A and B are shown apart, each in its own frame.
Chain A
Amino acid sequence: MLNITARSELLRTIVETLNVVVEDARMDFGEGGLEVRVVDPSHVAMVQMRVDAAAFDTWEVEDTSLGIELLKMKELLSLASPTDLVELQYDDAVGQVNISVGKIDRVIRPLDTANLTPPNVPGLDLPSNVTIAGADLAQALRAARQVGDLVNLSLEPDSFSVHVSGDQDSVNVSYGKDEVLALECDSPVRSQFSLTYLLPMAKMMASTESVCLRFGENLPLKIEFSFDNDAGSVVYFLAPRVEGDL
């Protein structure tokens, strides 16, 4: 049984954050809130999300897992203004999700959750990290995209930089330790990532005050940020590009 109400803005953030990585997601609703863990079909990008029940306007939930086609939610939410309240109901016995936005009642048949098993989170030891404003990160990556598809992120004890070399052109964006919110790095590390994945992620955090990036030498990137006054927390994982044969 599920009966929740939320501002459309909140649901939109949830759906879009997940949609960067997958088309379909299994959402686990519990007493304390919503949890989602999904990986893209080729296992390059993963998102782990948690939203406290407190972020919702009403929350009457018995443990329920729903498989949702994100596009359907997105379409419906596009009809609402940010502060409109959206009601979402689910009854096991009926097996359908009812979503109401104002006068609109939409029924969605949930997906079979058997095909939406949450992935295990990779075990990573990533001691180096930088915390930066979401807008700065998004801008740096947009600049990178103008030159190439693959971006190098590097961290040194006193700076963080985003670098791309194309055939002819190159772009470099560097921040000194005092220009970012926090930086921890004992020895220099560098990894390369695909902007096809990274840029859409960065767009989701463009208006976030602080984003923490953790990475190591040729290791996955772990991006942590929160939304809705910290009621929602997100971790993106992105596998690196590695040179040579794997």
Chain B
Amino acid sequence: MGCNLRDLAESEVIDIADLAGKRVGIDSFLVAFQFLTSIRARGATGDGGPLKDGKGRTVSHLMGFFDRATTLLAAGVIPVFIFDGKHPELKAETIAKRSQSRRDAQEKWDQALAEGDYPEAQKWGQRAVRYTPEMVEESIEMLRLLGVPAFRAAAEGEGQAAVMAANGLIDVVATQDWDALLYGSPVLVRNLMSVGSKRMGRVIRAEKIILADVLDKNQLSREQLVDLAIMIGTDFHPGIRGIGPKTGLKLIRRHLTIEKVCEFKEIAVPENLDEIRELFLNHPATTGHDLELKPIDTDALKAWLTERDFSERRIERNLAKLNNTSQMRKTGQASLFDY
């Protein structure tokens, strides 16, 4: 997933509260997958599948987005949910690989279920996750009922978000994917919702990475950063064998472009180089999106959620968080966020 630029970047730990009042573009495909893999039937005899409503429709992603959006709104953040559009053709290979491993997982999942091996089923069920176009549309519909901007990108979600950030339409791009920097996002936030939670024994916190600092620290132009990433390997190209971040950085600093690096190493330049560069430097993006928060029609929202078997408790708990935000405020009680 994306290109790992960790070694090139310095990050600053932040809190959600630091993003209050800011428009945060959220790479929503990634988030949806997190919800679909984590919100699951995990009891002793859980089949490992996502949670479903009475009609058999998956609701894990909706629950996740509902909780996520209200938590962000309650923190004063203006979330902008951006979903992947059409994947660039150059990504076909990456996508095909992902589909294949999902199909393999599906087979093993079916098999484990047939054998009644629930722990095994839960393991594979998690890897067989699908996020269909219908599920995307549903997610967008629900977020709009919450008065939150949500839409599909022209191509990659983090690419569209980065272009919007570069144009000043949003303030920050939140994604795990370092590619957002390659797409030109001035500010990248990773681990948006982590507050010192532990993962694999490491404490994970939300962190902010500034593109200008990354370029400055490594004495690179953005074009050179993109060239460097292409050498290391991206979703669009496996990269040049034997070149990692450190070697790559040295090479690009000395030779300035991929072409010159390849000339020096006497190898062929990566296939489709110009198209890949173009994807990073001028990523296609849809325009004309309304980025304002809208008042919430609580009755319509409740009806929509109840129809999908959301519990009264979950709905009320989340809506209570929004009392007194500008979207719900009815009385003369001010909020501390107004000051």
Contact residues of A with B, CB < 8 Å? 26, 39, 41-46, 65, 92, 112-120, 122-124, 194, 219-220, 237, 239-244, 246
Contact = CB atoms under 8 A, between A and B. Distances in A.
Contacts of B193: 114
Given A44-B324, A115-B71, A65 B196 contact: yes
Interface in B191-214: 193-198
Contact of A116 (B195, B321, B332): B195
A239 B196 contact: no
Contacts of A240: 334
B320 A239 contact: no
A46 B336 contact: yes
**Which 6 pairs from chain A and chain B are nearest by CB?**
A42-B324, A42-B323, A122-B339, A43-B335, A239-B334, A120-B17
Contacts of A219: 339
Interface residues of B, number: 30
B231 to A, nearest CB: 36
B132 interface: no
Interface of B: 15-18, 20, 71, 74-75, 193-198, 320-321, 323-326, 329, 331-339
Given A113-B196, A120-B20, 17 more contacts: A39-B336, A42-B324, A65-B196, A114-B193, A114-B194, A116-B195, A117-B16, A117-B195, A118-B17, A119-B75, A119-B336, A123-B339, A239-B333, A239-B334, A239-B335, A239-B338, A241-B331
Nearest to B323: A42
B contact patch SS = mixed
Contacts of A118: 15, 17
Given A41-B320, A41-B323, A122 B336 contact: yes
B336 A242 contact: no
B334 A242 contact: yes
Nearest to A120: B17
Nearest to A192: B332
B191 to A, nearest CB: 10
A contact patch SS = loop
Given A65-B196, A113-B197, A43 B332 contact: no
Nearest to A244: B332
Contact of B15 (A112, A117, A123, A241): A117
A242 B75 CA distance: 22
29 contacts: A26-B195, A42-B320, A42-B323, A42-B324, A43-B324, A43-B335, A43-B336, A44-B333, A44-B335, A44-B336, A65-B195, A92-B198, A112-B197, A114-B194, A115-B71, A117-B75, A117-B195, A120-B15, A120-B18, A120-B20, A122-B339, A124-B339, A194-B333, A220-B339, A237-B336, A239-B338, A242-B334, A246-B326, A246-B334
B198 A239 contact: no
A43 B75 CA distance: 9
Q: Which of the listed residues A26, A43, A194 has the most CB atoms from chain B within 10 Å of its own CB?
A: A43
Contacts of B321: 41
Contacts of B338: 239, 246
Contacts of A112: 197
Contact of A114 (B17, B197, B332, B334): B197
A64 B75 CA distance: 22
Contacts of A244: 332
Contact of B336 (A26, A115, A194, A220): A220
Nearest to B334: A239
Contacts of B17: 117-120
Contacts of B332: 241-244, 246
Nearest to B335: A43
A120 B76 CA distance: 10
